[in-house]
Structure 1
Amino acid sequence: MRSQFHAFMFPWFGFGHMTAFLHLANKLAEKGHKINFLLPKKALKQLEPLNLFPNSIVFHILTIPPVDGLPAGAETTADIPISLGSFLASAMDRTRNQVKEMVSNDKPDLIFFDFAHWIPEIAKEYGAKTVNYVTISAACVAISFVPGRSPDDLAVPPPGYPSSKVLLRGQETKSLSFLSYPFGDGTTFYERIITGLTNCDVISIRTCQEMEGKFCDFIERQCQRKVLLTGPMLSEQDNSKLLEEQWSQWLSRFKPGSVIYCALGSQIILEKNQFQELCLGMELTGLPFLVAVKPPKGVSTIQVALPEGFEERVKGRGVVWGGWVQQPLILAHPSIGCFVSHCGFGSMWEALVNDCQIVFIPHLAEQVFNTRLMSDELEVSVEVKREEIGWFSKERLSGAIRSVMDEDSELGNLVRRNHAKWKESLVKTGLMNDYVNKFIEALQELV
């Protein structure tokens, strides 16, 4: 067994994936392991400040080849609408020779990957072991990616699927139709993921046994691969890093636990009418709020898309911001009382380790599963119910927020109590370190 190993990391070109891989890289580097991190040039600026061990974690820039259909200069999911993801997957696949050359030169012991399903072939050629690092919930993987099962069967849980409330309902199965779509050259999204899960040496999942153990056991049986858990792999909070003054000053004007913070991730770009309904729903709560979302489709700035008269009506208590914000630091601010989120897996963990109430508006299929896990299984949050047109009304959004923010709300008190229990267990001294130590021990045995 080798005490120290050298690993390559090659995540999908989405910031939720790349930052999750980098958080893991930091934990490995902290224990003395060396990491080569492969990424597009455009991602470097955002990821470099998150590298806590620059002597041990070395970034390697990949040249992203042009692909017909992919806008010139696009290198990450932040550069494109979701509908162009297949072209970005083609570009990733066409970096294969670059990756192979790096592996040939550096001879890593391990290669971590997720969407690049061809990595196990390269690894075998050069004697490396592969780790498929899953950065979405185990519940989502357990029902969506079962070997020998068609994506069309998702309306019915697979045989042996654990007793659970984490299911899609009715029309929501249509939101997983993308599994059958082409995703890169000559492969569907489903084929890409299932190939990676069944060809790797081990599967690792960014979750904990306490929360998703039954789903992890199911994946292990179905894929016939050992499943290793990293724990929630939360970002290290740099206490020397302060919240930007404009937000610190603004939030401090309001009493503790009174402000709604809403963010929907880097990939979601709303239609203009959806964006306006979101703004009006926030206004309807009567509470102070900070909304941080990208400008809606077809407009260049947030301001031109705001509902008529909105800015004047919410002046002094509401801000809608189109740029990046320091989400972990905002969530930790004492004035924040409610987090309205799309329930991406990273945001889900950030919500759990803070004290605010949680309201979810899932947008993509994976987010629906995460929401079910949080709202139905763990009962720590509420989901905004959608209208039949597929989006929600301002009344439903404000109603969901008020249902957890009102002090005498039975539902609000239930989710607050459950949330407090989960937060306590997740931030418990030693829990995350125990997961990391066990994970590293298993990797050392593997190499």
Structure 2
Amino acid sequence: MSSMSSTKLHVSMFPWFAFGHFIPYLQLSNELAQRGHKVSFLLPKGAQAKLQHLNHYPNLINFYPLLVPHVDGLPLGAETASDVPFPLHMHLAIAFDRTQNQVETILTTLKPHLIFFDFSHWMPVLAHQLGSKAIHYSMVSAATLALRMVPAKKIAKHMTNEELIQPPPGYPSLLVLLKHKEFEIATVKILAEDHNGTGVPSWYSRITSSMKGGDAIALRTYHEVEGPYCDYLRQQYVKLVLLTGPVLPETPATKLDEKWTNWLCNFEQGTVVYCAFGSQNILQKDQFQELLLGFELCGQPFLVALSTPDGCATIEEALPEGFEERVKGRGWVYGGWVPQTLILEHPSVGCSVTHCGYGSMWESLLSDCQIVCVPYLGDQILNARLMVEELKVAVEVERKDNGWISKESLSEAIISVMDKDTGEVAGMVKHNHAKLKEVITREGMQERYLDTFIQSLQGLLD
């Protein structure tokens, strides 16, 4: 047995300044702390209070707050991706990079064995100066990284649109590709461009240099779901590719709040359609209304949890005319936070309409619900392709060429998976989903992945 295999690790975490990164990093921190390892978590000062309740091991997980410097163009006091619209995220990246001196001071004092990071392309050099190992821990699917973030994918501003959407040589699957060219091209251009020629690294160069410079690449996935993409990344980067498994938070021991159960219990088993698109997807009012009309049209009871659309003060003012009266009793549109895992587990819920954010993708896969995909951003579209084309456990809503989703296409997608009697599609996706769920929920599977992962980390230090 190696000298490190029983040594307790000291790990530092420095994720990108977004809650979609803080929370999974903290979930992994909890798993490490549960096994007796120590974690030092670096994050913006204002984010600490919002994450404190998710720290299950405060004796082993310590937060180190950073002061985020102001950058021209950012709203005053902006610290995280939630505070700024997507077009300003490059400004936030400048502020993120300007915390480097603070990060260096903290890490020089701590001298952790390992530093987990994602967008701080300067971290591998710093880690190695301190005698630490640098682990690039990615928050997107292996399929997305393998398509977007490999040396074989040459991304350049002068490429034609056709060249932009070509997969890199040797990419494991031509099925898992972006379906809608305008989304594809927009995403690639964001990846390719530096900040108005100021030399601030693009997302592509940040992530690829982070993966090249680090000592290992860590992914939140199972080999059983994304094996070929993990293998491709290993081959492309000639690096250790370590898998943690999805590391989802445990389903809360609490029961579903009465306001939800009282409503859901009005409906037969497996009949309710549940929809949520995450907090980052803000729809335009006309698309929001069209989707609601699609839920009305499908004829099933529905619980829709969406953010208030752009330009509206409340969910109520955004509803289509006469909608509330028409769907009274069978439709509920809610604008606040919802306990998604508990709702997906409720016997009345039979369909999950999801934006295919990475966490939501796994929550849908681990549920018994039929899955309908309505992706918006680049990695969501790839996650949808993975579920629809490769795993064949879901259907995707058809869009018009301009990206518009009609009420008819949403309704048709829902009906196609909910039609238990004659639906060929419903039968196929249900069968495939059940088979995959059986594999990924085997007893102790997540624990085995984490134990193997930690052993590999300890092996890195020998």
The CA deviation at 1:157 is 2.1
Distance 2:83 2:255 in 1: 28
Return the letter of the residue paired with 2:304. V
The CA deviation at 1:169 is 3.7
Where does the alignment leave 5 or more consecutive residues of structure 2 unmatched?
Answer: none
The CA deviation at 1:308 is 1.0
Q: Is the 8 A contact 1:81 1:267 kept in 2?
A: no
Distance 1:73 1:315, change over 3 A: farther
Determine the structure 2 residue equivalent to 1:244: 257
Determine the structure 2 residue equivalent to 1:206: 220
Distance 1:170 1:337, change over 3 A: closer
Return the letter of the residue paired with 2:109. N
> 179-188 vs 285-294, which deviates more?
179-188
Return the letter of the residue paired with 1:78. S
Distance 1:65 1:436, change over 3 A: same
Distance 2:345 2:53 in 1: 20
Q: Secondary structure at the match of 2:332?
A: strand
Distance 1:182 1:314 in 2: 48
Distance 1:389 1:148, change over 3 A: closer
In the TM superposition, 1:152-191 aligns within 5 A as 152=159, 153-169=163-179, 171=181, 172-176=183-187, 177-182=189-194, 186-191=200-205
Distance 1:392 1:47, change over 3 A: same
The CA deviation at 1:381 is 0.4
Aligned with 2:128 (options 117, 124, 128) = 124
Q: Is the 8 A contact 1:164 1:377 kept in 2?
A: no
Where does the alignment leave 5 or more consecutive residues of structure 1 unmatched?
Answer: none
Deviations 1:23-56 (A, max 9, x none): 1111111111000112223433442222222211
Q: Is the 8 A contact 2:224 2:440 kept in 1?
A: no
The CA deviation at 1:148 is 5.5
The CA deviation at 1:435 is 0.5
Distance 2:402 2:343 in 1: 32
Return the letter of the residue paired with 1:92. F
Distance 1:170 1:300, change over 3 A: closer
Determine the structure 2 residue equivalent to 1:138: 142
Determine the structure 2 residue equivalent to 1:258: 271
Aligned with 1:216 (options 226, 230, 233) = 230
Distance 1:387 1:89, change over 3 A: same
Return the letter of the residue paired with 1:360. C
Distance 2:46 2:273 in 1: 32
Distance 1:251 1:306 in 2: 21
Return the letter of the residue paired with 1:39. L
Deviations 1:226-285 (A, max 9, x none): 10111121211232x222221122112222211111111121111111111111111111
What is the TM-score normalised by the length of structure 2? 0.93
Q: Does 1:337 align with 2:367?
A: no
Q: Does 1:423 align with 2:437?
A: yes
Aligned with 2:84 (options 74, 80, 89) = 80
Distance 1:325 1:45, change over 3 A: farther
Distance 1:274 1:170, change over 3 A: closer
Q: Is the 8 A contact 1:181 1:188 kept in 2?
A: yes
> 187-196 vs 169-178, which deviates more?
169-178
> 176-185 vs 404-413, which deviates more?
176-185
Deviations 1:182-232 (A, max 9, x none): 369611111111111111110011111111111111111111211011112
Return the letter of the residue paired with 2:177. L
Q: How many residues in Structure 1 have an aligned counterpart in Structure 2?
A: 446
Q: Does 1:227 align with 2:241?
A: yes
Determine the structure 1 residue equivalent to 2:411: 398
Deviations 1:93-136 (A, max 9, x none): 11111111110111111100111111112111111101101121
- Aligned-pair identity (%): 51
Determine the structure 1 residue equivalent to 2:20: 16
What is the TM-score normalised by the length of structure 1? 0.96
In the TM superposition, 1:372-411 aligns within 5 A as 372-408=385-421, 409-411=423-425
Distance 2:438 2:105 in 1: 46
Q: Secondary structure at the match of 1:319?
A: strand
Q: Does 1:444 align with 2:445?
A: no
